[in-house]
Each structure stands twice: as structure tokens, then as C-alpha cells.
């Protein structure tokens, strides 16, 4: 009787101890940097908060793998397979939001730039844009948001199917009657993740080529992270066909051989760590222009909403002038 090989192999073999400890320490060393970025006002952004939570979670799961390799216990197999299978998708979601901000910022014109996420990080751009006429690109902005929404749903689907596959995993060890369904869920999850990453990458490249105001520094950072995430997605899709007859088996396809273990840490754990490091080692909020909340608007401000906002702002200025007593709307003291 065979069942699908666990991604990363079984953690009951001693080969897991040293690399698990090394990467747990590497993630631990990154925690102060993550807290600094999230605590500092100029670099704080919730767009990459998912990467921060994954870093903490990776310390836990790698510590569990290291412990299991010494105690010859399978450990919480559902949790570890869920984490390894879909954990990197939280990076993908953050990455998708960063790419959306990168594209959206490049589409605003002089009259609409006040809505751009980047203004929260670089307010001086409001002054620069007010002194020159820049064409607005609402159609490109709307397209980017629609595709971004579809990519979000695709990544969400990859997460759900990946979790369902991991939940079924432990029961297959003694009863593999649902092995086919479980394998299908794993393939759907991996396929959605890889396909959506390719779509996001193509959209990013097209935006850089056809949007004249696309930020070159942001593009270079996003390309580097995209290559790392694609490495993980391709590795996950490539190993899913393997099956094994035992957790302790080292036969071909068990993912337990020294070479299989090396591939797992090199092509999944290392790229995940590098992608998170890339996003936190620089001020991603400032480089990409995500602001504290990303592209939170979802759609352009309507003309009626703009008029209402400007009227309210004017009333505030009239009623509360700087360094003076309150005045009525006619300019005379009340």
C-alpha cells in the first residue's frame, strides 16, 4: 500500500535536524528586522504583514521538524504539511498586492494623483505632480485592479485546496482510499499557485514596458522576489507525483533520500527565506509605493465624492484657521 509522499519528506530522519536548526535560526535572526520595519512609521505597511507572520510560523514548524528528527515521531503531520504546502502562498498574496501598487501608482495623472498609494510614503510627489501636466490612465488602472482581484481569488483557491489536501493526509497512511482525491487537491493547489504567479509576473512586466512612469527600482525588487517565488511553486508542482510505502522509506519517490532533502531545503525553504529577507531588508513601502494600506481604494473616487470631500475640507479651513480664532464662512469673527 502506498500513499503520497509528504512534501519535504518525513521529518523523522536525522538528515532534517541540522538544516531545520539552521533555517530556524536564520528566521529568528530576521525577526528584529521585521519588527523594526513594522514599528517604524516610514516603513510600516500591512501589505507585507503576511510575510511577517509566516516568518514566525516557519520558526515553529522548523523547530518541530528538528525535534521530530531526534525523537523519531511524525509530529503534527497535518500542521506541518499544511504549513509547508500553503505557507508560501501568504508571501504570494503580499507580493500580488505590491505588484498592484506598483502598477496603480504608474497610472495616475495630475488631477488624480492624490489617490495614489505612494503619496502616503512620498508626499513630495504631490507638489511635483501639481507643477506638471501628466495624463491619467483610468482604463489601465481599472484593468490592473480587476486582474488583481482575480489573482487574489486564485491564490485563495490555492490556499483552500492545499489545506483540504493536508487535512486528508494523515488519514491516508492507514487508508488510502481517498489518495486520488487528495492528489488532485494538491495538484489544483500547486497549479493555481504557479499559474497565478505567472500571470502576476506577466502583468508586472507589461506594466513596466507600457507604463512610462513605472518605477525601475520597484520593478527590480519585484522581479527578484518573483523569481524566488516561482522557484518554490515549480518545486512544489514537480514533486507532487511521488508516492511512498512508509515514512522511513528511502526508496526513489519517498522524498527521504539525502538528495531529496537537499532539494527541499534549497528549492523551497531557502527561496522563501530569501524572498522575505528581500522585502524587509529594504523599505518596501517607499520603494514600491504601497503606503500603509496598499491599494485600499479598490476603485477611483467619484466626482460627487471628490466634490463632497473638497467642500468638507474647505469648511474645516474656514472654521479653524491656523493661529487665529474661529471665523464664520463670511470671514468675520463670530
Domain boundaries, the chain: 3-301, 306-334
* Average pLDDT rounded to a whole number, residues 79-105: 93
Q: pLDDT tens-digit profile of 298-331?
A: 877 766 666 676 677 666 667 665 555 554 444 4
* Average pLDDT rounded to a whole number, residues 56-60: 94
pLDDT > 80? residue 166: yes
User: Which range has the worst mean pLDDT, 54-63, 84-93, 171-180, 234-243?
Assistant: 171-180
Taking the C-alpha atoms of residue 178 and residue 68, their distance in angstroms, rounded to an integer, is 26
pLDDT at 248: 75
Question: Are 213 and 96 in contact, with CB atoms under 8 Å apart?
Answer: no
* Average pLDDT rounded to a whole number, residues 266-293: 94
pLDDT > 80? residue 38: yes
pLDDT band per the 50, 70, 90 thresholds, residue 71: low
Q: pLDDT tens-digit profile of 188-243?
A: 999 999 999 999 999 999 999 999 889 999 999 999 999 999 999 999 999 998 88
pLDDT at 142: 93
Query: How much of the chain exceeds pLDDT 90, in percent?
Result: 50
pTM, full prediction: 0.87
198 CB neighbour count, 10 Å cutoff: 13
* Average pLDDT rounded to a whole number, residues 161-186: 80
pLDDT at 229: 97
Q: pLDDT tens-digit profile of 141-151?
A: 999 999 999 99
pLDDT at 134: 74
pLDDT band per the 50, 70, 90 thresholds, residue 279: very high
pLDDT > 70? residue 278: yes
- Mean pLDDT across the chain: 84
Identify the H or E element spanning 211.
Answer: none
pLDDT > 70? residue 100: yes
CA trace torsion 164, 167, 169, 172 (10° rounding): -100
Q: Around 5, how many Cα atoms within 13 Å sit in the side-chain half-sphere?
A: 26
Amino acid at each position: 500500500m502506498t500513499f503520497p509522499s509528504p512534501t519535504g519528506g518525513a521529518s523523522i530522519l536525522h538528515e532534517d535536524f541540522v538544516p531545520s536548526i539552521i533555517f530556524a535560526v536564520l528566521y529568528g535572526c530576521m525577526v528584529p528586522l521585521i519588527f523594526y520595519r513594522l514599528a517604524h512609521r516610514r516603513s510600516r505597511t500591512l501589505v507585507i504583514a503576511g510575510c511577517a507572520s509566516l516568518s514566525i510560523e516557519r520558526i515553529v514548524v522548523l523547530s518541530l521538524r528538528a525535534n521530530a528528527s531526534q525523537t523519531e515521531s511524525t509530529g503534527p503531520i497535518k500542521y506541518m504539511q499544511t504549513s509547508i504546502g500553503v505557507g508560501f502562498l501568504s508571501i504570494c498574496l503580499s507580493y500580488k498586492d505590491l505588484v498592484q501598487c506598483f502598477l496603480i501608482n504608474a497610472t495616475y495623472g495630475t488631477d488624480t494623483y492624490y489617490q495614489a498609494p505612494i503619496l502616503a510614503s512620498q508626499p513630495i510627489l504631490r507638489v511635483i505632480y501639481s507643477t506638471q501636466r501628466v495624463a491619467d490612465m483610468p482604463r489601465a488602472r481599472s484593468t490592473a485592479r480587476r486582474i488583481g482581484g482575480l489573482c487574489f481569488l486564485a491564490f485563495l483557491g490555492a490556499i483552500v485546496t492545499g489545506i483540504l489536501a493536508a487535512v486528508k493526509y494523515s488519514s491516508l497512511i492507514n487508508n488510502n482510499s481517498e489518495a486520488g482525491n487528495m492528489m488532485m487537491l494538491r495538484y489544483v493547489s500547486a497549479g493555481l499557485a504557479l499559474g497565478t504567479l505567472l500571470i502576476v509576473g506577466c502583468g508586472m512586466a507589461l506594466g513596466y514596458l507600457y507604463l512610462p512612469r513605472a518605477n525601475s527600482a520597484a520593478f527590480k525588487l519585484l522581479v527578484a522576489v518573483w523569481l524566488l517565488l516561482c522557484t518554490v511553486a515549480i518545486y512544489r508542482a514537480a514533486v507532487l507525483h511521488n508516492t511512498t510505502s512508509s515514512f522511513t522509506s528511502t526508496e526513489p519517490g519517498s522524498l527521504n533520500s539525502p538528495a531529496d532533502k537537499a532539494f527541499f531545503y534549497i528549492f523551497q525553504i531557502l527561496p522563501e527565506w530569501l524572498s522575505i529577507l528581500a522585502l524587509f531588508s529594504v523599505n518596501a513601502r517607499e520603494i514600491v509605493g504601497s503606503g500603509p494600506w496598499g491599494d485600499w481604494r479598490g476603485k477611483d473616487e467619484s466626482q460627487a465624492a471628490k466634490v463632497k470631500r473638497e467642500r468638507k475640507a474647505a469648511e474645516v479651513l474656514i472654521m479653524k484657521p491656523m493661529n487665529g480664532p474661529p471665523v464664520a464662512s463670511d470671514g468675520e469673527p463670530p
